[in-house]
Structure formats: C-alpha cells, structure tokens
Structure 1
Amino acid sequence: MVADRMLGDPRRGHPVAGFGSLAHHLELALYAPRRRRGAAFTGALVAGTLGIGGLVERQASRRPAVRLLSTGLATYVVLGGRTLEREAHAVATLLEAGDLPGARLRVTHLVGRTPDHLSADDVARATVESVAENTSDAVVAPLLWGAVAGVPGLLGYRAINTLDAMVGHRTERYREFGWASARLDDIANLAPARLTALLAAALGDTAPALRAWRRDAPRHPSPNAGPVEASFAGALGISLGGSNTYDGTIEDRGRLGDGPPASVADIRRATALARRLGWAALAVVSAGAMVQAARSR
C-alpha cells in the first residue's frame, strides 16, 4: 500500500498490462458472440491466475520472509489508488487552466463515455464518479480479497476486474461474449463496494451519504457502482449521475445525492476522500485478517 502511494503503477512492464495482452490474444482465438465462448475465455484466464497465485502461496507458506515479500509485491501490483489520483488531478489541472478540449481528452483515461460535447462540469462529474467507482475496484476490493485469500485472492480479483474492463460491455460485440466476465466482476465486488460506501459515509457527511446510498443507488444500472457513487455524492454534499453517452448510446443513471452538481473544485475533494478511505480500508481488512489468523491457531 505504501509503495502504491509513493510510486503508482510502473509505466512499463506492468504485469496487469501483460495479462491484458494475453487476454487480447486469447480473445482473438476464442471469440464468438456466445456466452459459452465468453465463459470459457473468462474461466481459463481466471483459473490460470488463481493457479499461479496458489503456487506462489504454497511455495512461500513455510518461509515467512518470502511470504511477506510475495504478498507485498502482489498487493502493490494490483493496487491502483495513486495512479487513479494522478489521472484525476491531471483532469482537474486542465479544467482549472480553462483547457476544456485537453480535459475532455484526458478524462477518457478514466471513463468510457463519449467526451466530445461534455461541458467542464460534465467532465468534473465523470472524474468524480470514476474516482468513487475505482476507489472500490482498484483499492478496497484488492485489499479485501487479499485479506481473505492471500496472493490468489489478490491476483484472481485483478484478473476478474481487468477482464470486465476489457469485455464486460453492453456493446454488440461483447453483449454475449463478455457476459460471464461482467457477472463475475459483479459478484467479486458485492462486498467491497458496500464496504467502500460505508467507509465513504463514515469519513464524509454521514447522514446524507447513507440517505443517498439507500434511496438513489438502485437508480444506477450497476449493482456495485450505484452504492459507491451515491455514498460519495452524499459524503461530498454534491450530486452525481445523470445521462451519459457511450458510442452513441445514451444511458440514464438517475440523480445520486441532493447537493449541487459536481464541479471542478470537487475533483480534489473526491481524491482526498478516496485517499483517506484507502487507508481506512487497509486498517479494517488488516484487523480482520489478524482476527482470522488468531482464530485459526
């Protein structure tokens, strides 16, 4: 966690990028617009990653120093909190300088929506929503799965989340082929998303966050992004959600929260909340792991 906060993702040779390249080549070999093909694709990659993680765990199980190093390295590889913050701040800096075209281009590093006609506030909202959702996906979920299942949990979760980002879309190409990846990612993020929403409420404006989570989260099409984004909106005293355009398709995510629409100033507030939330999540899952270890003795 400390290494991620200090260094962020390596710019070259990132193992997750290598996994993505492998997945791309396997997709080219297996693709067909059928759920069965997509399930085979997802199953092969996730099972292979879990197998590698299990092998590392077994080899290190009797050598505490090796286990410490292997678990720490795996954790660093799968976390993305620092890089997420850097990308969000890059968008904020462009908006603060009045460079809307540059901000529109940069926000595509964070979201998949069509940026051409986004206003400055639309770009800010997209960035805050990405910070909220990816704090769950790239920080809380890896920490939780690592605490529960060690190196296999860390690597297996990152494989699932990466495949969802690659093929878990409701486009013509991936509607059937990506179905298994999307559903598996939904399952893997059920607990982490709700822990993220709870921590956001605890660290921000608690009552509005809990109210927005309970009332507004069901309006979001994602069962996991909904609670996280709604809780962030309430915790920050703003509103998120609304209509987004993805490759010509308009998707209405409803209004999340009761405050004014997100603005440029809210990006850095969101990343500050996300940073505190990451450390709080680390404390929670570490405490849980220690309790689990004590009970198993």
Structure 2
Amino acid sequence: MLLFDGLTAEILILLIAALAVDGYAGGLRWPAALSTAHPGRLAERAARWFDDRLNRAARSPASLRLRGWLAALMLLAIALLTGGALQILAGAHGLGWAVALVLMVMLLTVRQPYDRASAARQALQGGNLDAARIAVDPLTDRDIYKMDAHSVARTAVEAAAERFVTGVAAPVLWAALFGLPGLLVQGVLLRAAGTVRRPDRALYGQAFILLAAIVTRPAAWLAGILFCIAAIAVPTAKPMAALKMMLRDGGKGSLSQARALAAMAGALDFSLAGPRHYAQRSIEEPWIGSGRARLLPDDIRRALMLFAIGCVVSAGLLAGLVVLILRI
C-alpha cells in the first residue's frame, strides 16, 4: 500500500513512463536550471554542508557517530516532507503529475550505466585499454589505472548489476510501496551515502551507510529476481543457476547489492566482486559465483542484455500490478 491512498495506479503508470523515458533519452543532458535542482545533487550538496560543519577530527568517536545520525535523520525528514508535499500536489492538480514524472526520471538511472558499460566494451574490442578505463571511471570509485582488460570488463559488468539495484530496482520498489516520499527518501539516502569519505564510514558516516543499506538490500533482492526472470530471454543464460547462486552467494561480503551480483554471476557463469583496489588501499571481498573472473568484451554485451531485459521485466510487472489494482 502507498503512504497516500488512492494514488497507487497512477504512481505505477508514471514509473512505467519514467523507465521508458530514461531508457530512451537518459543520456541527454538536463537543462542547467533542472540540473542544478536535481534531487541527487541537492542531497550531495546538503550532505557535504553537514560534513564540513559536523565531521571534525578533534571530536570523539561517539560524538562523530551522533552527529552523523543527526545529519542523516535531518536529510531523511526533509526528503519525507518534500515527497509528501509533491504527492499531495499531484493528487490536487494535474501539473503535479508532470512534476512527479520529472522527479522519477531524475531518480531513475537506466541509460547512463548502460551507455558507459557499452562504451567500455567497444573500447576493449578495439584494443584501447585507456579509453575503456575512462569509460568505466564514472561507474566505480576503484583505481582504474590498476585495471587490466579483464578487470575493466568485470568492473563494467559489476557496475551494471550494482546500478540496476540503485538506479532501477530501488526507485521502483520504494516508489511503488510509498509513492513520491519513498522515491525521494531512497534517492537522497543513496546519494548522501555516496559522499561519505571511506575512512569516515565507521564514524560520522555510519548512519548514512546503514540507512543506505536498509534501502538497498530489499532492492537487491528485487533486482536478483528480475535478473532470474530476464535470464530466460538471454541466450546461453541460466535462470535456475541465477536463482541458486542468488540464494547461495547473495549474503557474502559487505556489498549491499550482493544478491543482484550473485544472480548475474549465476545466470552468466561469472565470478564477480572479490578483492577491490582503491587509490590508497585494497579491500578483500569474497568472490561471488563459481564461473570465470577473467571477463571479455562479449561478456559485457551479455550482461547488458540481462540489464536491458531486466528493465523490461520490471515495467511488465508494474503493468501487471496496474491491471490488478484497476480490477479490484
């Protein structure tokens, strides 16, 4: 049920439209005025504003954690109030639905990760490793200059799965459950958590990381299920292996998107995740899946087919829910 009764079918229809719009034109640049008012960018700016004023090295660990929770809860409250106001506007005025659609398109991310991963594939096929590294750079915070061709391909595949969780499954899930407040809350929390500096994640950033995980983990389950269904339509993919791997390896490691990674790994017979190398440190994560880790450009193509069909499946499920709601 939605937080606001009587708007369920309309919200689901708008989600379908937003998936189609971003899938077709998501690579286009927003006008300057809309780009400045993008909820994700506003969340990042607000998170940095709080960080500059509250996250000081001289403070005790307990004080930093408390201040982090205060900042996170303030952003959460702002997102809830703003989303609630926009949903009330949508219910009272036709223009509100146009605003809601624009907000959904802003917070869905279908085309951008697809295009980036596809560009990396084309660069690898052409033997241009540097261009492939540059193509995946916006999709990861790892050190791209330590990547060989296989690492770039694996990073592109992992990024497609991870961005499907945060850019498709999470917005669809939380908007379908709680309308615009749910959509805005998940978008704000995910973008704010992305601004937390890695050394601060156990202190000031603890609240942001925990709240983002609460938002992401159910979406990762949904994404994994969508990948299992999508694997039916992808040549050589194995839907039952995807389901088995999602249940077996989806709980490994600390990654919130592990369920989706496991489903993709099982469907396409890959090994994903594993050790991750950053500019100043490396993180040991367990491998997810039991297939190949040395991925090739064609493996990116197969992963992107799973990504694209997963988007179509999500739209189909939303359409089925609309029909069910209208018949009740």
What is the distance in 1 between the residues matched to 2:201 and 2:23? 34
> Which residue of the partner structure matches residue 212 of structure 2?
185
Mapped pair 1:152 → 2:181: yes
When normalised by structure 1's length, the TM-score is 0.90
Asked if the contact 2:229–2:310 (Cα under 8 Å) also holds between the matched residues in 1, the reply is: no
What is the distance in 2 between the residues matched to 1:242 and 1:108? 18
Unaligned runs of 5+ in 1: none
Supply the AA of the counterpart residue of 2:151.
D
SS at match of 1:247: coil
Match of 1:92 among 105, 121, 129: 121
Q: Per the alignment, do residues 289 and 137 of structure 1 end up closer, same or farther by CA in structure 2, a change over 3 Å counting?
A: farther
Asked if the contact 2:239–2:267 (Cα under 8 Å) also holds between the matched residues in 1, the reply is: yes
> Which residue of the partner structure matches residue 30 of structure 1?
54
What is the deviation of 1:288? 3.6
What is the deviation of 1:99? 1.5
Asked if the contact 1:108–1:115 (Cα under 8 Å) also holds between the matched residues in 2, the reply is: yes
Asked if the contact 1:208–1:257 (Cα under 8 Å) also holds between the matched residues in 2, the reply is: no
What is the deviation of 1:229? 0.4
Unaligned runs of 5+ in 2: 1-18, 232-237
Mapped pair 1:8 → 2:14: no
Asked if the contact 2:217–2:257 (Cα under 8 Å) also holds between the matched residues in 1, the reply is: no
Identity %: 25
> Which residue of the partner structure matches residue 225 of structure 2?
198
Match of 2:272 among 240, 247, 256: 240
Superposition pairs for residues 171-182 of structure 1, below 5 Å?
A: 171-182=198-209
What is the distance in 2 between the residues matched to 1:19 and 1:209? 35
Q: Per the alignment, do residues 213 and 111 of structure 1 end up closer, same or farther by CA in structure 2, a change over 3 Å counting?
A: same
- 1:178-233 Cα deviation digits (max 9, x unpaired): 111111111112221101101111221112112211222233322x3111101011
Supply the AA of the counterpart residue of 1:206.
P
Asked if the contact 1:144–1:285 (Cα under 8 Å) also holds between the matched residues in 2, the reply is: no
Superposition pairs for residues 69-80 of structure 1, below 5 Å?
A: 69-80=98-109
What is the deviation of 1:54? 0.7
> Which residue of the partner structure matches residue 52 of structure 1?
82
SS at match of 2:250: helix
- 1:127-182 Cα deviation digits (max 9, x unpaired): 10010011011011101111111111111110011012111x5x323431111111
Asked if the contact 2:274–2:284 (Cα under 8 Å) also holds between the matched residues in 1, the reply is: yes
What is the distance in 2 between the residues matched to 1:38 and 1:200? 35
Supply the AA of the counterpart residue of 2:259.
P
Mapped pair 1:61 → 2:91: yes
The number of equivalent residue pairs is: 291
Mapped pair 1:109 → 2:138: yes
What is the deviation of 1:292? 5.7
